[in-house]
Amino acid sequence: MLNKLFDSSRADRRGMLIASICFVHCVAGPLLLTFVGFTSLVGVSEKLEPLFLLGSAAMGVLALVPAYRKKHGRLSCIALFASGLLCLVMRHRIESRAFSIEPVATALGAGLIIGAHVLNLRFSRRCKCCEPNADQMCEESRESSG
């Protein structure tokens, strides 16, 4: 039952959902603050950010690492995911005097995480002959069928 709960495709979809919700939260938060009645939600909003990061990191590890090790062996998914998490973690620490870098870093980070999960789904669904180091397997299967 635990395997069904955390299989790669479901974990990828959950990871994309968490990253999307995080993006909407970070973009909608400043827009909601323009309305005077919602300023009391700032404290709650700031407490949710670590939950989004931890949830995204957990889903990424549950989906990307097993797929990398057992299915496709491509580092691009993990590199995209790590870059996205780095953007989200560093967005508060980078300051720009010209404009706020936080929305750009949030959009970039969430986009990279979603892209990592999309690539992971795509690579995991490909046939065995499409995997790296599978050329020998493909040749053997062609020779046996022909």
pLDDT at 7: 62
- Per residue in 67-109, pLDDT tens? 888 888 889 999 999 999 999 888 877 777 777 788 788 889 9
Query: Domain residues of the chain, as ranges?
Result: 2-145
pLDDT at 77: 92
pLDDT mean over 9-28: 79
Q: Is 51 in contact with 82 (CB distance < 8 Å)?
A: no
User: Quick one: 76 exposed, middle or buried, by C-beta within 10 A (0-12, 13-18, 19+)?
Assistant: middle
Which carries the bigger pLDDT value, residue 110 or residue 134? 110
Out of 38-42, 47-51, 108-112, 136-140, give the one with best mean pLDDT. Answer: 108-112
Characterise 73 by phi-psi region: left (phi > 0), alpha (psi -120 to 50), beta (else): left
